[in-house]
A and B are shown apart, each in its own frame.
Chain A
Amino acid sequence: MKVKSKQLVVLLLVFVFIIAGCGNQSSNSDANGQAAQNGQKEQTDSQAGTESESSALKTVTYLGKDYQVPEKAGKIAVLAVEAMEEMHVLGVKPYAAAKDMYVNGIPEEMGDSLDGVKWIDSGVQPDKEQLLALKPDVILTTARLDAETLKPLEQIAPTIPLSFSGADSEANITVVAEITGKAEEAKNVIEGYKEQLQKSKELIAGSSNKDKTVMYLRISTQYGLSGYSAQTTYNAVLYDGLGLSVPELIGAIERRETIPLEKMAQANPDYIFALVPLNDLQAIEDLKTKPLWNQIQAVQDGHVYVNPVHPDLFGTPILSKTKFLEQVTATLGNAK
């Protein structure tokens, strides 16, 4: 019995040793930029619109559904990156935002829009108690969440899940503008994008790249090569927007699929615009060791563009689309 007790003690010590070892290491770590940036708990309430200014309601219609929101919604809680981009481009600071919304730290494209906001824990599925305590007027989140997950948010405040479809970019910015009273700004942003898109389309149509096979992919160690449907996020810019032809491989995708490398090699695109998480750039280095990857035309010609825009920009909002469009135009539009 004594021997067994001793063995038990030794085993428990092994457990404690492992846990303590890990704990020390993790506490010594810098916990990366995101935690530091998101850890600004001391907030001031001095920012504009922190108090709900009116209890009068208005109806906004978004993608065929009516939402009752305060006439002047000052306290807007933003839980998803796509909504954050709309807020930024309209020049409205959110009252509260989901912590860890951006995996790799806040992109510089967001400027100071998140300075001084109240952070809510647990990312896109937020801590409900914290959210409730903040009493937001409106919650902006994403349609990537299902109806069950949205329900408790809707009980806290009117909740608008912004669509991730590349075809709904205008509707997204318009509804956020209606809520924040920035309709004119939204109109200008949309018009500006359309003008830029038209110019780019003409430029590329006149270049030798007009018939090239162009793909947008997200690449990561975990999921490999991810392709999206022709209407999703940046693909909407490439195909619907710029009029490039939809590769067969992309046309067959309903929403997102992991594309086998052999299929990609056979599709053999001429240009690849790849978004790779900033903390997983090794994924693209690993690909470079694969003979099949190196045989793709885009790779051989040096036409693989890694992170032409920040990988945490979502791709549906007009802000992301505009940035992406600029890069694609600069790449494809100048070849004669």
Chain B
Amino acid sequence: MLSCPILLVFGTFLSISYGAAIISFQDVGHAIFHYDSTHITDNIIITSRLPRALGAVIIGLLLAVSGAIMQGVTRNYLASPSIMGVSEGSAFFVTLAIIFVTASSLGLMLFSFVGSLAAIALVFGIAKIAPNGFQPVRLAIIGIVIGTFFSSLAAGLAHFFQISQSVSFWYNARLDKLDMGDVYLILPFACIGLIMAILLSKTVTILSLGEETAAGLGTRPALIRTAAMLAVAVMTGSAVAIGGNVAFIGLVIPHIARYLVGTDYRWIIPCSGLLGGVFLCFADILSRFVNYPYETPVTIVISVICIPFFIYLVYRKGGAPGV
């Protein structure tokens, strides 16, 4: 776990040093310490690779923390933004915004939050009224159904309004298109979401022991759950708004963090964040070399690594609740 910050710095360095264009370490150093906007290599490093590396770290961090919180408050090892339909809700509301309201980045980001929140509310609402709705596999199914529902609506609207290309753009991960403007845009929201997550971490630990135990210990489960979902909406919404739909990180990373640091969410949440940042940063570097020098979608790399883990989770843990 201690190696995580080192890996993060190392990953960021690799991410800005290696890419489609071959650039020497000397030129990387020149770009960092003596940036000259007229040099193409300096611009590649500073305006393309640096925001991409920072963006990947931030997005990975936010999605992993979102997944950890969701797993804690629902006591569901399959809970994560992509499986609970949160990312799809976000993308659907962004589609609505593109068609009817706004195309400004901030406006789209706000719609993205509302979409995340709507999806969470809908999934949890259905889970609450369905018999054993919070049972892990059932909740995952409800999440996938709602996610599919939102993506179908978005696809239908996009087709009618002839903006399929713009909408697909929102659905697909697009780390390669990040620029510093995106990084600046996400920073305040990321900070708010992370502060909320850290403040909630103690009570999430209590909630993860079970609702009755939590109530017995004097916490208010409904309030914590609402605050936690708000934090998830802010983090997932902003991550999807700048990076598109990056699946599986929110599912897999919290399990690895739990394996490394135990069951206390005061540790799981920050560790998930660090691991999520490291994971997406390295996955993004790998995606540049699968079909070098051309890009391969980062989701392919993530899926190849994470899907076996997902199957393993279902196989080992079945339908039993608890994380």
Quick check: B20 and A260 within 8 Å, CB to CB? yes
- Tell me if B165 is interfacial: C-beta within 8 Å of chain A: yes
**Nearest CB on B from A16, distance (A):** 12
| Contacting pair A22 B156 (CB below 8 A) | yes
Residue interface bits B90-105, CB-to-A below 8 A is 1, else 0: 0000000001100100
Q: Would you call B255 an interface residue if the criterion is a C-beta within 8 Å of the partner chain's C-beta atoms?
A: no
Among B126, B162, B294, point to the contact of A258 (Cβ < 8 A): B294
Instruction: Verify A11–B129 contact, CB threshold 8 A.
Output: yes
> A132 at interface (Cβ–Cβ under 8 A)?
no
Interface of chain A residues 220 through 276 with chain B (CB within 8 A): 220-222, 224, 252, 257-263, 265-266, 268
Chain B at the A interface: SS class: helix
Task: Tell me if B259 counts as interface (CB < 8 A to partner A).
Answer: no
Stretch at the interface among B42-50, B66-74, B313-321: B42-50
Set of chain A residues within 8 Å of B169, measured between Cβ atoms: 221-222
Contact flags B276-317 to A (C-beta < 8 A → 1, else 0): 000000000000100101110000000000000000000000
B128, CB-defined interface residue at 8 Å: yes
* B contact residues around A283 at 8 Å (CB): 165
A266 with B129, Cβ < 8 A, contacts A25-B100, A258-B294 known = no
A155 is an interface residue with CB less than 8 A from chain B: no
- Most B CB atoms within 10 A — which of A19, A224, A263? A263
| Chain B positions within 8 Å of A26 at CB level | 156-157, 160-161
CB distance from B302 to the nearest CB of A (A): 18
A149 sits at the interface (CB 8 A): no
**How far is the CB of B16 from the nearest CB of chain A, in Å?**
11
* Docked pose: A277 CA to B166 CA in angstroms: 11
Q: Is the C-beta of B196 less than 8 angstroms from some C-beta in chain A?
A: no
B125 at interface (Cβ–Cβ under 8 A)? yes
**Interface pairs (25), CB distance under 8 Å:** A7-B125, A10-B125, A11-B122, A11-B126, A11-B129, A22-B157, A25-B157, A26-B156, A26-B161, A29-B161, A222-B168, A222-B169, A224-B176, A257-B291, A260-B294, A261-B48, A262-B19, A265-B40, A265-B43, A265-B44, A266-B44, A279-B162, A290-B179, A291-B47, A295-B43
In the complex, residue of chain B having the shortest beta-carbon distance to the beta carbon of A32: B162
Q: Cβ of A7 and Cβ of B129 under 8 Å apart?
A: yes
Are B153 and A265 touching (Cβ within 8 A)? no
Nearest 7 pairs of A and B residues by beta carbon: A260-B20, A263-B20, A26-B160, A291-B47, A257-B294, A266-B21, A262-B44
| Contact present for A290 and B47 (CB under 8 Å) | yes
Contact of A222 among B99, B100, B165 (CB under 8 A): B165
B149 to chain A: which residues have CB within 8 Å? Answer: 15
Query: Quick check: B129 and A221 within 8 Å, CB to CB?
Result: no
CA distance A263 to B294 in the complex (A): 9
Other than the known A7-B129, A26-B160, A260-B294, what 16 A-B pairs have Cβ atoms closer than 8 Å? A11-B129, A19-B153, A25-B157, A222-B168, A258-B294, A260-B176, A260-B295, A262-B20, A262-B21, A265-B21, A268-B40, A279-B162, A279-B165, A290-B179, A291-B43, A292-B47
Q: Which residues of B contact A (CB under 8 A)?
A: 19-21, 37, 40-41, 43-44, 47-49, 99-100, 103, 122, 125-126, 128-129, 149, 153, 156-157, 160-163, 165-166, 168-169, 172, 176-177, 179, 181, 288, 291, 293-295
Q: Please report which residues of chain A, range 1-54, place their CB below 8 angstroms from some CB of chain B when the two chains form the complex.
A: 4, 7-8, 10-11, 14-15, 18-19, 22, 25-26, 29, 31-32, 34
Residues of A within 8 A of B41 (CB): 266
Contact A8:B129 (CB < 8 A) given known A31-B160, A260-B294, A262-B48: yes
Interface size on A, residues (CB 8 A): 42
Report the minimum CB–CB distance from A291 to chain B (whole Å): 4
Give CA–CA (A15, B149) in the complex, Å.
10
Q: Which residue of B lies closest to A227 (CB)?
A: B294
- Chain A residues lying within 8 Å of B49, measured Cβ to Cβ, are 262
Hey, which chain B residues are within 8 Å of A4, CB to CB? 129
B166 lies within 8 A of A221 (CB): yes
A266–B100 Cα distance when bound, in Å, is 39
Q: Does A282 sit at the interface, judged by CB under 8 A?
A: yes
Chain B CB within 8 A of A280 CB: yes
Residues of B within 8 A of A103 (CB): 162
Asked if residues A221 and B165 are in contact (CB atoms below 8 Å), the reply is yes
| B279 CB → nearest A CB, Å | 22
Complex interface: chain B residues within 8 A of A265 (CB): 21, 40, 43-44
